[in-house]
Amino acid sequence: MHSKEELRKLSKEQLVDQVYDLFIMVDTLTSKVQELTDEVQRLKTPKNSGNSSLPPSHDLFRSKNQSLREKGDKKSGGQVGHKGETLLMSPNPDNIIEYRSNEICPQCGKIHSIQDSQIIGKRQVIDIPAIKAFVTEHQILRTTCTCGYVSTGDYPAGVSAPVQYGNNLIALTAYLSSRQYVPYSRLSELVHSITNISMSEGTIFNLLNKAANIVLPIYKGIREEIVKATTVGGDETGVKVKNEKFWAWTWQSLYATYIVISKSRGFVTVDKIFPDGFPNATYVSDSLSAQLKTFARRHQLCLAHLLRELNYFVETFHLKWAIDMKALLGRAMELKNTMTPEQYAGPLEERTAILKDFEILINQKLPDKVSKIFPFQKRLRKRRDQVFNFLYYPDVPYDNNGSERAIRNIKVKQKVSGSFRSERGSEIFAILRSVLDTTIKKGGNPFETIRFAVNLAACKNEFQINSRR
């Protein structure tokens, strides 16, 4: 820092140099202040499930996030025309108890006959009988003929140990673990509390393993159903297996869900499970490179993911471009919700206008101070043909919520039961959960499906044994 006396002694050229250096310093400091201001603003707007692809579990103890759902004009609660539900009387009650009046008339002393009584009211109580273990003992007998020949009976197929658990208990264990997320320790306690049957956690694992092997053909069939679908959604999330980071992948259609646990989040997993991709399908996903690399007839980017990213840009930079892009995607989703089947194939003025406005936005020059949004704009420009396919095909959604629901089941399982203790344990859950989710999508009963599969396998074994005799 020069004093006034020192500056007065400088020549004109020296003063110009000093001022020029000062301007450069001011520009540098101004730029640094702006950079730090942007950084402060970014830190004041942390990423969460509402403005990024982070899962809701990361939002714990954070302030409430902005929902992607816009506020509607409907009141909360049941809507007009909503059909309520109430307990209905069974036309065929299992037990009937009659309560008659006095057999002798209190007025005249006449004795009433049964024919004189009429039903004037009835009430029903729905309950379940006391649950207890039902033990079936299988005995084989030996017969000695008068000729001296000795013959013996055979145990039925599947009865291979002195004492073992039956098919209904296997199905119930699989249902409680895979559908209701009951961990091994509490499942053991639950079964013992209700039925007085003692099962160790090791036994529970063995029963689940048996159930998974039984439904394995169904699981493989689900994969083939996904391959043939015309719309497929894919997603993945981290999962703990033996305290190591694994990845849970899901591929799902309208009527099927297929889950796989893998060590890799890369394309190697997709290539291993679906080497031919989805040649007949529109593939709906987020912007993960492994998902975008998946071969499909066409791709559809998840607009919910794009909107969350745009939320972050709006909250952080208050950028008009992000606000306009959000509004444009909202217009497209509203149009989808009102389109008739005939409008998909023919020309549609509203759709044309949306595509035109989209081209303007993805080619619009953005200010250098918001350079963090440049990759997002570039991605939309590169994937322009994958943003609005849902406006051309009625069965293609504008979000990937179906896949996220399938993935959420795995997160809930971990929150309730903790991490998987073994790779096989994670595989068992993936198999059983795929079968149960697919059953639910098709309108079936998940418990009855597992029970039917287990009983069917037992009948099949019995038939094969009898055929060889």
pLDDT digits (tens, 9 = 90+) for 420-455: 999 999 999 999 999 999 999 999 999 999 999 988
Q: What is the DSSP letter of 454?
A: H
Phi, psi (deg, nearest 5) at residue 203: -65, -40
Number of domains in the chain: 1
What H or E segment, with its residue span, contains residue 236? Answer: strand 231-241
Sign of CA dihedral 390, 304, 254, 256: positive
Could you tell me if residue 137 is inside a domain? no
Q: Is residue 222 within 8 Å of 258, Cβ to Cβ?
A: yes
DSSP 18: H
Q: Which residues pair with 142 in a beta bridge?
A: 152
Helix or strand run (H / E) with residue 289 = helix 289-293
Predicted confidence at residue 44, as pLDDT, reads: 63
Q: State the pLDDT at residue 339.
A: 96
The Cβ of residue 89 has, within 10 Å, a number of other Cβ atoms equal to: 9
Domain assignment present for 257:
yes
Q: Is residue 177 part of a domain?
A: yes
pLDDT at 21: 77
Task: Please indicate, yes or no, if residue 223 is contained in any of the structural domains.
Answer: yes
The residues that bridge with 241 in the sheet, in sequence order, are: 244, 420
Query: In terms of residue numbers, what domain contains 259?
Result: 161-229+238-280+421-469
In a domain, 364, yes or no: no
Low-confidence ranges of the chain (pLDDT < 70): 1-2, 7, 15, 38-74, 76-78, 81, 84, 114, 460-469
Q: Where are the alpha helices (DSSP H) in 318-443?
A: 320-338, 341-345, 349-362, 374-382, 401-417, 423-441
- How large is the C-alpha radius of gyration of the chain? 34
Angle at 259 between CA 213 and CA 206, to 5 degrees: 30
Closest residue by Cα to residue 447 from 60, 152, 179: 179
Which runs of consecutive H residues, i.e. helices, occur in 179-215?
Answer: 184-195, 201-214
Q: Which amino acid is at 120?
A: I
249-271 pLDDT, tens per residue?
999 999 999 999 999 999 999 99
Best CA proximity match to 414, nearest among 245, 273, 207: 245
Environment class of 63 (CB within 10 Å of its CB; exposed 0-12, middle 13-18, buried 19+): exposed
Pseudo-torsion of CA 301, 285, 337, 325, nearest 10°? Answer: -30
Predicted local confidence at residue 7, as pLDDT: 67
In a domain, 18, yes or no: no
Tokens of 51: 């403005």
Q: Are 361 and 328 in contact (CB under 8 A)?
A: yes
CB atoms within 10 A of CB 271: 15
Task: Strands of 242-294 (E only): list them.
Answer: 244-252, 257-262, 278-285
Enter the tokens of residue 59: 């939002």
| 203 within some domain | yes
245 inside domain: yes
pLDDT of residue 369: 78
In angstroms, the CA 195 to CA 285 distance is: 45
